[in-house]
A and B are shown apart, each in its own frame.
Chain A
Amino acid sequence: MYDSDKPVLEVKGLKTHLTTKNGVSKAVDGIDFSLHKGETLGIVGESGCGKSMTSLSILRLIPSPPGKIVDGSILFKGKNIVEMSEDQLRKIRGNEISMIFQEPMTSLNPVIPVGEQIAEALRLHQKLGKKDAWQNSIEMLKLVGIPSPEKRAKQEPFQLSGGMRQRVMIAMALACRPEVLIADEPTTALDVTIQAQILELIKKLQAKIGMGVIMITHDLGVVAETCDKVAVMYAGNIVEHAPTEQLFSDPKHPYTKGLLNSLPRIYEDQDELATIEGNVPSPYHLPEGCRFASRCAHREAICDRKLPELIEQSDGVKVRCWMYTDQWALHEEKEEVL
């Protein structure tokens, strides 16, 4: 059976491509990560780097066409989600792996009272009667900190504020006590004060339920606050994967360094925020070599020739960059000889 020391979710070589009339977009192009129970993994990167596609792939929710998982495996407790039938998938969705979406304003059905929507999540997976499900959904509303839950449960989404709707979304996602929660930018659409509350709530419930959380975000502040380890994505690849503290104290990949540099700092006088020059390559025409090369200050000939592998440097720190390989040393020696 399933061994609790093993990761609950393991993604290996996942490739999700979108085929459109403009060609094939390699939205997710070979990524690996794993998640243990109780652990929080952050996936960061800018818009379009493939982080949302990754999360949708895990539940096989990518719109198809044009999306398709072309390679790789997603092992949930040892079972490969990529090969599951729709029926098997439905038993996992919302029950063992749940998802919170970015937009609380549009992620709830506008014509159904919120209590009923939570009850539906319960009734889909647990054979509960109408009354029990309703009672449970009120319990869930209480759990996510909504005041006077009996009254709120009967209200329709338009009567709730954004922060409250996000709490309802969390209640829906966690109603069946899943083992993995995927939070796709759960706080992007919320006020800063509400953001902190929602993150705090997810953390609290994680401790209570013991689930693994995948926190997808473009906000490094959210990562620092919530995650145990971080995967930095760039143009469909993971470029750096490290425990959160290491990532912030000693970033390896030039892209990660650039990201951290471009954060505003409170204690320093900055006239202008640092930026990373250049643009992300189009996912339709990815360069053969390193995808960050065109924007990288350390660019060498080898960077344009071949895509570097994601190589483990030290304990848990993995980087996809030629600078940290033997080839780089060889390369530099050659230059010196010349």
Chain B
Amino acid sequence: MSLEVKTVQPNVIVNPTVSKPESKLKGFLSQLLMNKAATVGAFIIIIYILLAVFAPLIAPYSPYEIDLENKMMPPSSDHWMGTDDKGRDILSRILYGSRLSMGVGFAAVLFGAFIGIIFGLVAGYYGRWVDTVIMRIMDVMLAFPGILLALAIIAALGPSLINVTIAVGAFSVPLFARIVRGSTLEVKRLEYIDAIRSLGANDFTIIFKHIFPNILSPIIVQATLRLATAILSAAGLSFLGLGAQPPSPEWGTMLSSGRDFLFSAPFIALFPGIAISILVLGFNIFGDGLRDAFDPRMKK
């Protein structure tokens, strides 16, 4: 033992202090936290997610429990946000509704992003006619206003929350495809793509292992901003009666049923409206903050 210890030389110069692997992530997070708006946005989103997850524990009443004796009660200590036209507790409905609204938003964006990313990667990587065909289809989809496209899809599939998810996801597809295609074009010209190809990698490996991870930041920013739009559109479609059907506590549906009582009991429509606005605001400012944090020019 002692002999071995003697032969070991202290390795000072050869082994300089090296920053730890997580320093990249740390730097990014501190960048993000420095942006006050983004922090507020993240805070709002986290609160909504917690409320959605723990809705059964927090909600004072069942969202479906009808109590016709106490219908259209203004906010009080028993019912913080009042009751609706059938006497259901609005606070409880909003808490449960947050699961539906955010669920639809996340599902729609995931669906749209998944297809859009694949289209964008393939179009950008292969170029030529593949690019032309895919991107012209995307252009056609972009030519329709989003809501109109969604209406057409729901008209074809029938009104339901799942079809709303599909419809809202579908009009996110071209947006993701465009962003991903642009970034792919940029990354595929870089030397390390040539280097990995010179090692014998196939197209699949190059696209998904070497290009995709390097274009994640614009995708994440776009996804966050799209979440806001998706939640809003889903609520809008439900408001029009194309999505969740009563008595579902979906926010858009609640708004819709509250609009008949705007003058007699404005709080029925007001609170779901506020819930939607704050959540959308949260996603928007968080998305803007993310974009700034990812932007290398903003780094100090």
Contact = CB atoms under 8 A, between A and B. Distances in A.
Given A101-B194, A109-B192, A111-B214, A94 B15 contact: no
Interface in B273-300: none
Interface stretch (A18-26, A148-156, A237-245, A319-327): A148-156
B191 A103 contact: yes
Interface string B122-150: 00000000000000000000000000000
B213 A111 contact: yes
Contacts of A95: 200
Contact of A101 (B14, B15, B191, B209): B191
Contacts of B21: 113, 154-156, 159
Interface stretch (A118-126, A131-139, A256-264): A118-126
Interface string A51-74: 000000001010000000000000
Contact of B198 (A98, A103, A155, A159): A98
A130 interface: no
Contacts of A92: 200
A172 B194 CA distance: 13
Contacts of A61: 194, 197-198
Contacts of B202: 90
Contacts of B200: 89-95, 121, 124-125
Contacts of B191: 101-103, 106-107
B213 A106 contact: no
A111 B201 CA distance: 17
Contact of B14 (A93, A107, A147): A147
A154 B20 CA distance: 10
Contact of B214 (A99, A109, A147): A109
A148 B214 CA distance: 27
A148 B192 contact: no
Contacts of B2: none
A156 B21 CA distance: 7
B199 A155 contact: no
Given A91-B200, A148-B14, A156-B24, A108 B195 contact: yes
Given A95-B200, A103-B191, A120-B201, A155 B18 contact: yes
B162 to A, nearest CB: 35
A98 B213 contact: no
Q: How large is the interface on A (under 10, 10 to 19, 20 to 34, 35 or more residues)?
A: 35 or more
Contacts of B205: 120, 124
A112 B24 CA distance: 13
B11 A107 contact: no
Contacts of A156: 21, 24
Contact of A98 (B14, B15, B199, B209): B199
Interface string A212-254: 0000000000000000000000000000000000000000000
Interface in A138-166: 147-148, 151, 154-156, 158-159
A155 B202 CA distance: 25
Contacts of B213: 109, 111-112
Nearest to B199: A94
B58 interface: no
A209 B190 CA distance: 30
Given A108-B192, A112-B213, A148-B14, A124 B201 contact: yes
A293 interface: no
B199 A121 contact: yes
A93 B195 contact: no
Nearest to A117: B196
A78 interface: no
A124 B206 CA distance: 12
B195 A148 contact: no
A129 interface: no
B232 to A, nearest CB: 33
Contacts of B198: 59, 61, 93-94, 98-99, 101, 173
Contact of B199 (A93, A111, A159): A93
Contact of A148 (B15, B197, B201, B210): B15
A159 B19 contact: yes
A271 to B, nearest CB: 40
A169 interface: yes
A169 B199 CA distance: 11
Interface string B6-26: 000001001100110100100
B132 to A, nearest CB: 14
Interface in B165-197: 190-192, 194-197
Contacts of A90: 200-202
A85 B125 CA distance: 20
Nearest to A90: B200
A95 B205 CA distance: 17
B288 to A, nearest CB: 24
A109 B15 contact: no
A110 interface: yes
A107 B18 contact: no
Nearest to A161: B16
B189 to A, nearest CB: 9
A220 B18 CA distance: 36
Nearest to B194: A61
Nearest to B189: A63
19 contacts: A93-B197, A93-B199, A94-B200, A98-B198, A101-B191, A101-B198, A107-B195, A108-B195, A109-B192, A109-B196, A109-B214, A110-B214, A111-B213, A120-B196, A147-B11, A148-B11, A151-B18, A159-B18, A159-B19
Interface of A: 59, 61, 89-95, 98-99, 101-103, 106-113, 117, 120-121, 124-125, 147-148, 151, 154-156, 158-159, 169, 172-173
Given A99-B198, A117-B196, 4 more contacts: A94-B200, A109-B196, A124-B200, A124-B205
What are the 8 A-B residue pairs with the smallest beta carbon separation, nearest first? Answer: A94-B199, A93-B200, A94-B200, A147-B14, A99-B198, A106-B191, A107-B195, A90-B200
